[in-house]
Structure 1
Amino acid sequence: MVTGDPANAPLLQAEHVAKSFPSADGSTLDVLDDVCVTLHEGEVVALLGRSGSGKSTLLRILAGLIAPTSGEVRYRGELLNGANPGAAMVFQSFALMPWLTVQDNVELGLRAAGVPDRERRDRALAAIDQIGLDGFQNAYPRELSGGMRQRVGFARALVLQPDVLMMDEPFSALDVLTSENLRGELATLWERPEFPTKCICLVTHNIEEAVLLADRVLMLGTNPGHIRAEVPILLPRPRDRRSPTFEATVDRLYAILTGRDEKSAAERAAAPGPLTHPLPSASVGGLAGLVQIVYAHGGQVDLPDLADELSFQVDDLMPLLDAAQMLGLLDVESAQAFLTSTGHDWYTADIHRSKGLFAALVVAHAPLVNTIVKALENSNDGALRDDFFRDLLSRGYSRDDTEKQLDIAIDWGRYGELFDYDADTGELVLSEVAAGLAEDLLGPAGDV
């Protein structure tokens, strides 16, 4: 590792960066908003957040692969326009050229930079040896395991001797044992004085990975992506997963990640609606499974332990937790999930009562389901086309997110027997159960 004074050695700075993309329906999708990041010499920084928080987009902006919509990025004080000359990338998908040998793949960046043949060969072989693939320089990617192919990706980046090594979830495509082995080897290489890079910036959704590798963790929130928190990891290297300090740090990050994103004052003051309170991406079966697990653990589980036990990633667990909290089935405090009395009643009820309870909960707490039931109740014959709700949702969501929201609402509503849905005609029809339930929970019929 190249040492330096972090306070006086900024390598890369993003100042008030925002990024938007045009959607297929003509609207604009805001991915990042007012993001400020500084990377220093001698540190590993992890970008941690849920899916949709813009982690990978931010990494590509720092690498100069895409331009920000607003704000600016500076490398060693110079405004970045185009690819960052001091950065190299390691991708999740390996991104190797299958028709090239290991050595040829590693030499690609050097060849593009015009490095002479002999120097290019010597540097490539040294990098191949450094990452543990000596003897495989003439092999093709198809002859290598996933872990070995990712090692080639590391060698191809490190041979450029970049100031900043950028990694976009480099271990997520690997099996558990291989990814754990590569994390350990990377941590060991980072500690060596001859490691040919000054800083590492890592995108991950794995909390333990962030604590194992990083000196700082930048927590990103969503809608759009923004920096929610910056957490220093004050643990000596090498790091021990079993230490109380390690576990406490993991718990702290879980507590931040499971907390709801901050809302504007206007959003907090407004009544919950389909556009301000989207439905989490969770099926009824997934919700039932999570509640069952918490029930089986005596009504309380430690989320890091649960994720580890079930081989979950953070992104797998968060939508289910969000949905369970939205419906009042679970409470989440810090890194602990607790079964509520409502969750207990729902899980222990027979199938008919369970469906009735679920129907009442989604009408009361899931804004889009509430809107659908209300609209059907106000229609002449208790029936409406799905395009009516699709048009309403398109005011606040992209086309893909509109379809996802509608699919979740239909799944929840059909399970609770609130309405029927004909996928061929796109028609939703209010059920007799929902007609009485809507009157009890929603009050007299009114405008949607």
Structure 2
Amino acid sequence: MTTIHRAPGALASRTTIIEVDHLSKAFSGAHGADISVLDDVSLELREGEIVALLGRSGSGKSTLLRSIAGLIAPTAGEVRYRGRPLEGANPGVAMVFQSFALLPWLTVQANVELGLRAAGVSPAERRERALAAIDMIGLDGFENAYPKELSGGMRQRVGFARALVLRPDALLMDEPFSALDVLTAENLRSELMTLWGSEDFPTKAICIVTHNIEEAVQLADRVVVLGANPGHIKAEIPIRIPRPRDRRSPTFEALVDRLYAALTGRDQAAREATVPTGPLTHPLPAASVGGLAGLVEIVYAHNGQTDLPDLADELSFEVDDLLPLVDAAAMLGFLDLEGAQAFLTDAGRDWYTADILRSKELFASRALASAPLVRTIVKALENSDDGTLKDGFFHDILRRGYSAEETARQLDIAIDWGRYGELFDYDSDDGTFVLGEVAAEAGAYLAQHAEDSDGHPDGEPGDRP
């Protein structure tokens, strides 16, 4: 078997296995509207390298990986395998999934042989190759075990064996360690790197989807950072650290900071855009008011500034846990971001130190100024006859740009923010939004007239027999 040189450097001169050429992907949404998931993405995967696709939820990284595998056809652009455009499943790749995706009624060996069986490989060769793959990934002795008898880490090893037994040119992995506990995931990453460095590793390149920054730095030769709504390439950062890599080294930590800055930073085009912002182009980050308050409190306690990677590590958070809160705080002007550093603004300090009534007023003014969906709801209610609107009105607007699930999520966030700022209320029983002033007046009226038949307000002596 040919030995693949896997040391960092000179990657551009190596043979290209897969090319993604100006790929865009949109899915049909409600009322015939298209939802754009990927926009004009171009990248290459070359022999002898590991590429990490790093991005938060909604960046389309899994859709991109499935497009590379030929499981999803692009709306525009194309994917080429060794120079030939894909017209179906990519013949040169195999996939490892987050969910293991094993057939529970088959033994470990039978699960590993599945792809070979589909390819028409003879039973004798299937057995030989499957047993070799099982031995390589450390499951020798478990050939006749069933998935239910295995731990999560062992089941994922079966997933690796099932992919590697095909001897693919490129191994595609979709967050393969995220369903595992921390120690098991770390052990598997280390073993994967050991296998990758061996001469008999049966694949020439790896492409891994992840939202874990440290995982990307630990594994990859290049990290492609994806932005969201729709997914697009924000940055491509080389990782020129010899393996094995020390997480505590200054170089490793500097790269983590650089990737964090790339994920949290706004696109240059977005900074320079002059078009008005709206709820379809600027979604609300998935952050509750309570979560925002917690983040602002922590930054306040850190003397008004914090290093985001250090904070995430201190709190045992992944990037997807912390970034929505950071995005929301930045959207409302409570935090300023400079690279991987977050600084508490005067507005953030005022909000944290204010009493409850003043904090609600400050939040309301910030949400109206900077949160497009909150502003849209308030303006629509102000223009209605009686300060009320059914939620179907906002569902129809949002589903021109979002899936039904994301539409519901956006409205839930807006309701949380609007209620806290007393900008509007929401009656979940009949699905009605009510303008804040109208809700307050209605509440006062009901309190004043909450009397029983004898004319006494509820709770006064007239209620008693």
Normalising TM by the smaller chain, what interval? over 0.9
SS at match of 2:273: helix
Q: Structure 1 CA distance, aligned partners of 2:117 and 2:393?
A: 56
Distance 2:388 2:23 in 1: 46
> The residue matched to 2:278 in structure 1 has which SS?
coil
1:10-64: CA deviations, max 9, x gaps? 1111111111111243211111121112111100011111111111111111111
Cα distance change, pair 388–75 in 1 and its aligned pair in 2 (3 A): closer
**Among candidates 390, 393, 399, match of residue 398 of structure 2:** 393
Matched, 1:75 2:81: yes
Pick from 113, 124, 127 the counterpart of residue 118 of structure 1.
124
Equivalent residue, structure 2, for 1:442: none
Query: Which amino acid is the alignment partner of residue 383 of structure 2?
Result: N
Q: Distance in 2 between matches of 1:277 and 1:259?
A: 15
Give 1:235 shift: 0.6
Cα distance per residue 1:305-362 (max 9 Å; x no partner): 1111222111111111111001111111111111112112211222222222212221
SS in 1 for 2:234: strand
Asked whether the 8 Å contact 2:391–2:433 carries over to 1, the reply is yes
With over 3 angstroms needed to count, the CA separation of the structure-2 counterparts of 1:263 and 1:25, relative to structure 1, is farther
2:350 is the alignment partner of 1:345: yes
- State yes or no: 1:200 paired with 2:206: yes
Deviation track 1:173-209 (CA, whole Å, cap 9, x = no partner) reads 0011110111111111111111111101101111110
Count of matched residue pairs:
435
The aligned counterpart of 1:282 is 287
The 2-side partners of 1:78 and 1:275 are apart by: 37
Please give the alpha-carbon distance, in whole angstroms, between the structure 2 residues aligned to 1:66 and 1:392.
Answer: 28
- In 1: Cα distance, 2:268 partner to 2:284 partner: 17
TM-fit CA distance, 1:434: 9.9
Q: Kindly indicate whether the alpha-carbon contact (under 8 Å) linking 2:30 and 2:400 is maintained by their aligned counterparts in 1.
A: no
Deviation at 1:394, TM superposition (A): 3.6
Q: TM-score, normalised by structure 1?
A: 0.92
Tell me, in whole angstroms, the C-alpha distance in 1 between the residues paired with 2:31 and 2:175. Answer: 30
Residues 30-69 of structure 1 mapped to structure 2, 5 A cutoff: 30-69=36-75
Equivalences for 1:303-382 in 2 at 5 Å?
303-382=308-387
Could you say which residue in structure 2 is the equivalent of 1:209? 215
- Cα 1:425–1:249 change in 2 (3 A) is same
Report the structure number with the largest CA radius of gyration: 2
Distance 1:155 1:227 in 2: 31
Are positions 1:136 and 2:142 aligned together? yes
Match of 2:5 in 1: 3
Secondary structure of the residue aligned to 1:170 is coil
Report the alpha carbon displacement of residue 291 of structure 1 after superposing the two structures with TM: 1.2
Identity %: 73
Q: Does residue 300 in structure 1 map to residue 305 in structure 2?
A: yes
CA contact (8 A) 1:222 1:261 kept: no
Aligned to 2:457: none
Local SS of the residue matching 1:32: strand
Superposition deviation, residue 264 in structure 1: 6.2
How many angstroms apart in 2 are the aligned matches of 1:250 and 1:404? 30
Pairing of 1:236-251 with structure 2 (within 5 A): 236-251=242-257
1:404 is displaced (CA, Å) by: 2.3
Contact 1:44 1:199 (C-alpha < 8 Å) held by counterparts: yes
Report the secondary structure of 1:111's partner residue: helix
Task: Report the CA distance between 1:364 and its aligned residue.
Answer: 2.1
Q: Mind listing any 5+ residue stretches in structure 2 that lack a counterpart?
A: 441-465
Distance 1:281 1:433 in 2: 27
Q: Say which of 258, 270, 277 aligns to 2:275.
A: 270
Change (3 A) 1:67 1:428: closer
CA 239–222 in structure 1, closer or farther in 2 if over 3 Å, else same: same
The aligned residue for residue 446 of structure 1 is none
Deviating beyond 6 angstroms after TM superposition, the runs of 4 or more aligned structure 1 residues are none
Q: How does 1:134-283 map to 2 (within 5 A)?
A: 134-263=140-269, 268-283=273-288
Distance in 1 between residues matched to 2:253 and 2:116, nearest whole Å: 42
Verify the 8 A CA contact 1:49 1:221 in the aligned structure 2: yes
| Structure 1: gaps (5+ residues) | 436-448
Structure 1 counterpart of 2:161, one-letter code: A
Does the 8 Å contact 1:417/1:433 carry over to 2? Answer: no
SS for the counterpart of 1:74 is: strand
